[in-house]
Every structure is written in structure tokens, then in C-alpha cells.
Amino acid sequence: MKPSDPLSLPESLLLRLQDSKHVLVLTGAGMSAESGIATFRDAQTGLWARFRPEELATPQAFAAHPARVWSWYEERRHTVREAEPHAGHVALVEMEKMVPRLSIVTQNVDALHQRSGSGSVIELHGNIMRSICHLTSRPIDEEWLENSPDCPPRSPWARDGLARPDVVWFGESLPAEAMNSAMNAAVNCDFCFSIGTTSLVQPAASLPLLAVENGAILIEINPQETPLSLHANHCLRTSASEALTALLHQWKTRVQDHKPGAG
Ligand code: OAD
């Protein structure tokens, strides 16, 4: 392999991947970019380049301007409904079949991993397609929302309650069960991928470091350098779909070439 080849894993790391018992994959907004869902921090196209987070993605913003916040999420839900998983999502589904265990921990709220068929997905920041009562956090079903004339719809669970998206806003805690499962996976995995995240938002950003501290190999897939790059055993500097399809091909080819009796 040429050192500058952005698409191949060095043979020694491929071997470690092939022998891995538990692969952890942490994904961020860059994983969904090729499905047409905007990232948060990319300079021209990122959501936070066009909107101020504190005006839309905080409990304070929702309390002050519930209709504005709900409408913004309606727009994003529309984009997510139209989006399709890409070849990188599909490659992860294939990789899950090649190791005893593969856990995906995602910061994305679009459920594209689940839609593509990945089995073990931990949602750290919630799911934009689900709604909850803003006072009781009880789930509100789609049919109720569709039949509501209000923006945002009123909650069926509390007199002054409103429907809000089941996502984590700035200043809110992550769902405890998801965070515990994610930390468990980080401690127990032996191979970790960090894909399409700036690695700036905690606590998600610390998961790959926890994996490394516990002896895992770390590969970063991101066209850009991030604060995590320094800690990675190898960086694939290309898009998620390109890197993952190339990696799957490299992996399958190696397995094929090393089958007993394969020349
Ligand atoms: P960001 O928008 O901060 O970062 C997106 C990353 O994806 C950048 O590092 C890009 O270089 C990279 N990227 C862009 N296109 C890519 C592609 N095709 N393939 C691979 N990588 C690509 O998104 P996150 O790091 O996920 O939180 O942001 C973390 C959290 O900050 C989000 O979950 C959200 C936000 O505030 C909440 O809403 C709670």
C-alpha cells in the first residue's frame, strides 16, 4: 500500500480487524452527508452556519418560540424522510456479518443505520422522527400529531404539555441507558471506527479515546483532520461511502485470498 492511499488499510490493521471480536463504530453527521442531510459544522453547508443553535436547539428556545422550533424540526423531518441510506451504510451492514459483534453508536438522529438494516444501533442524541411531551417526556404517536391542528401539537399527556422532538438539545443530558451501553461498548471493543464526526461534542467525542485507553485499534474516516486524528492508528481521508465500500472490498478480498486452498 502507498502511504498516501486514502482508501486502503495497512495489512497489519486489516488483520487486526479480521480477528476482531467486537467492533465499535461511532458515527456523526458526516456519515449522513452523502444521503443529503446537512452536517452541523461544515463552513458553508452546515446547519449551524445558517442557524444559531441556541435559537433552535435548546429548551429555552422551545419555551420562547415553540412554533418556530417545531417548524424547523418539521423541515428537517421532511429531509430525513426523503433521504436514503448510501453505500457506506450498506457496507456497515455487511461488516456486521463478518465479525462476532459490531455495535454502532450514532450521534445522528435520522435512523439511517436502522433503515439500512444495521442490527445494533445506539442512538446517543435521540431520534428526530419520534416526538415526546415536553413536560412528561412520554412518547406521542404519529397519528395524534397528524390529527392535531396546533403548531406544535398539544400533548395528550399533560394539560400544558406540547409535543417536542425526541432529540437531545444543548444543555440536556444524554439518555442514560444509551450512554451506558455506548461506554460499555467502548471499554469492551477491540477495534473502533470514528466516522464523519468533528469529535468536538462531549461525551460522544470521548468514546473512541476510551476505546483506545482499553487497547482498541482506532481508525478515523473523515476527509478533514479532527482533534481525534492524533490518537488514531490510521486515518482514511475520504468520504464515508468511499472509505467503507473500499474497506469492505479490501477485507473480503483478503478473506477470499487466504481461504484454505486458495492458491
Ligand atoms: P459536525 O457537523 O460537527 O461534523 C461533521 C464532520 O463530518 C466533519 O468533521 C466533516 O469533515 C465530516 N464529513 C463531512 N462530509 C463527510 C463525508 N461525506 N464522509 C465522512 N465525513 C464527512 O457533526 P458531528 O460531529 O456529528 O448534537 O456533530 C456532533 C453533534 O453536534 C451533533 O450530533 C449535534 C451537533 O450539535 C446535537 O444535536 C445534540
Percent of the chain at pLDDT exceeding 90:
87
233, 185: one domain: yes
- Residue 16 sits at φ, ψ, to 5 deg, of -65, -40
Distance CA 240, CA 10 (A): 18
117, 236: one domain: yes
pLDDT category at 122 given cuts 50, 70, 90 is very high
Number of domains in the chain: 2
What value does the mean pLDDT take over residues 152-167?
97
Which are the catalytic amino acids? 125
Residue nearest to atom 26 of ligand 1 (CA): 28
Q: What is the pLDDT of residues 58-86, one digit of tens each?
A: 999 999 999 999 999 999 999 999 999 99
Percent of the chain at pLDDT exceeding 70:
96
Residue nearest to atom 30 of ligand 1 (CA): 201
Among 114, 141, 167, where does a domain finish?
167
Closest ligand 1 atom to residue 199 Cα is 25
Residue nearest to atom 13 of ligand 1 (CA): 30
52, 153: one domain: yes
61, 186: one domain: no
Q: Which domain holds residue 232?
A: 1-35+85-125+174-263
Among 35, 41, 168, 169, say which to mutate for ligand 1: greatest number of ligand atoms within 8 Å of CB. Answer: 41
Among 167, 195, 227, where does a domain finish?
167
Lowest mean pLDDT among 41-45, 108-112, 121-125, 240-244: 41-45
CA of 248 to the centre of ligand 1 (A): 23
Distance CA 17, CA 215 (A): 13
Distance CA 10, CA 2 (A): 9
**pLDDT over 80 (residue 261):** no
pLDDT of residue 48: 81
Rg of the chain (C-alpha set): 20
pLDDT of residue 240: 98
In the chain, the amino acid numbered 191 is F
Indicate left, alpha or beta for 163 from its phi (over 0: left) and psi (-120 to 50: alpha).
beta
Whether residue 248 contacts residue 94, with contact meaning beta carbons closer than 8 Å, is answered with: yes
pLDDT of residue 46: 82
18, 89: one domain: yes
Distance CA 79, CA 212 (A): 35
In sequence order, which residues have a C-beta less than 8 Å from that of residue 13 and are 6 or more positions away? 217, 219, 233, 234
pLDDT of residue 263: 54
CA distances from 168 to 81, 116, 187, 235 (A): 20, 23, 24, 29
11, 22: one domain: yes
What value does the mean pLDDT take over residues 120-139?
97
200, 255: one domain: yes
Order of strands across the sheet that contains 139-140: 139-140, 126-133, 163-167
Mean of all residue pLDDT scores within the chain: 94
77, 198: one domain: no
What value does the mean pLDDT take over residues 118-147?
97
**pLDDT over 60 (residue 3):** no
78, 90: one domain: no
Among 144, 167, 190, where does a domain finish?
167
pLDDT category at 43 given cuts 50, 70, 90 is low
pLDDT of residue 45: 78
136, 51: one domain: yes
In CATH, what number is assigned to the domain containing residue 261? 3.40.50.1220
Residues lining ligand 1, Cβ inside 6 A? 28-30, 33-34, 39-42, 46, 57, 107, 125, 168, 196-198, 201, 221-224, 226, 239-240
Whether residue 88 contacts residue 108, with contact meaning beta carbons closer than 8 Å, is answered with: no
* In the block, residue with C-alpha cell 482508501: 7
Residue nearest to atom 9 of ligand 1 (CA): 198
In CATH, what number is assigned to the domain containing residue 52? 3.30.1600.10
pLDDT of residue 2: 42
CA of 263 to the centre of ligand 1 (A): 44
What value does the mean pLDDT take over residues 167-194?
97
**pLDDT over 60 (residue 4):** no
15, 47: one domain: no
Q: What is the pLDDT of residues 189-236, one digit of tens each?
A: 999 999 999 999 999 999 999 999 999 999 999 999 999 999 999 999
Cell numbers given for 90: 450498506
pLDDT category at 1 given cuts 50, 70, 90 is very low
pLDDT of residue 41: 84
120, 139: one domain: no
